Amino acid sequence: MKNNYKEFAIDLAYKAGSLIKKNFVPGIKKQWKENNTPVTETDFAVNKLVLDEVRKNYPAHSVLAEEESNMKDNAEYVWVCDPIDGTFPFSHGIPTFAFSLALVKDGDPILGVVYDPMQDRMFSAEKNKGAFLNGKKTSVPKTQKLAGSLVTVGVFKHSSYYMIKVIEKLNDIGAYTFNFGSIVYHGMLIAEGYSVGATFSSIGAHDVAALKIIIEEAGGKATDVFGNDQRYDKPVKGALFSNGALHEELLKVIKENVILR
């Protein structure tokens, strides 16, 4: 049994990434869920890979994942996974997606890995040990102004926290807004130093658990959309990730413009 959580998580991320990249081909078949989001055979295959690997190496741990979970009563650790964050771009031939995995203890991520198989970018972070991109330390941008900065905002018709007016306000301020179709991809841009903020408008912890620790260890800040701390082993109240310096200003924009569903 492996006893190095980070080594296990990175190895698993590379395995998942290899499967994802292999299946990123023209004409990907997809089904549509009740919430009007797509799912592919690759989502299920990667999800199964994670379940099997955790079961084999850490049988006492729980798994909370998008397509299938294995939650155990009184488990101290929960592996929180999104097999492919950005299934919409993945299934439409757009390379803005990633594999995401976090190890959560008492609701708080203590380890996170995010892997972009198309550009071979591996982000990792452990509690109080910093954030790394392909083994080299990485950090959030030091920008102090929203005007002229990139903020990624996901807008989905059926989301719990509808952000269309948030985009309008950010554009009025002079920020550049964009949506790559993956909150994990958005968060990677913050940790890599390109973006100052990213909003998440839904409730899935699997979407954001790894980002929480990666962005904070890179020097940024992570809260729910109202500025509060939250658990990452159960449904979340959206999320806001930032470089820290602009967190309060972004929160103000969200609170004044978000549409609650």
pLDDT in tens, 119-139: 999 999 999 999 999 999 999
Q: List the CATH code of the domain at 5-137.
A: 3.30.540.10
Give how far Cα 39 sits from Cα of 24, 32, 68, 186, Å.
13, 6, 12, 20
Q: Of all residues in the chain, what percent carry a pLDDT higher than 70?
A: 99
The CA-based dihedral angle spanning residues 217, 99, 18, 12, taken in that order and rounded to the nearest 10 degrees: 60
Residue 34 has pLDDT above 90, yes or no: no
Asked if residue 128 lies in contact with residue 39, where contact means CB atoms within 8 angstroms, the answer is no
Q: What is the DSSP string of 227-250?
A: S----SSS----EEEE-STTHHHH
Confidence of residue 3 (pLDDT cuts 50, 70, 90): low
Distance CA 75, CA 91 (A): 34
Instruction: Pinpoint the residues of the chain covered by CATH 3.40.190.80.
Output: 150-260
Strand 176-178 relative to strand 150-153, pairing: parallel
The pLDDT, as a whole number, for residue 157 is: 75
Instruction: Pinpoint the residues of the chain covered by CATH 3.30.540.10.
Output: 5-137
In a 10 Å sphere around its CB, with 0-12 CB exposed, 13-18 middle and 19+ buried, how is residue 54 labelled? buried
Distance CA 138, CA 130 (A): 8
- Its pTM surpasses 0.85: yes
Distance CA 155, CA 166 (A): 10
Q: Tokens standing for 80?
A: 């929180």
Distance CA 156, CA 36 (A): 10
The pLDDT, as a whole number, for residue 36 is: 83
Residue 1 has pLDDT above 50, yes or no: no
If one compares 159 and 55, the residue with the highest pLDDT of the two is 55
Which pLDDT tens digit goes with each residue over 49-69?
999 999 999 999 999 999 999
Asked if residue 63 lies in contact with residue 128, where contact means CB atoms within 8 angstroms, the answer is no
Over residues 154-169, the mean pLDDT reads 91
Residue 183 has pLDDT above 90, yes or no: yes
- What fold is seen in the domain 150-260? D-Maltodextrin-Binding Protein; domain 2 (3.40.190)
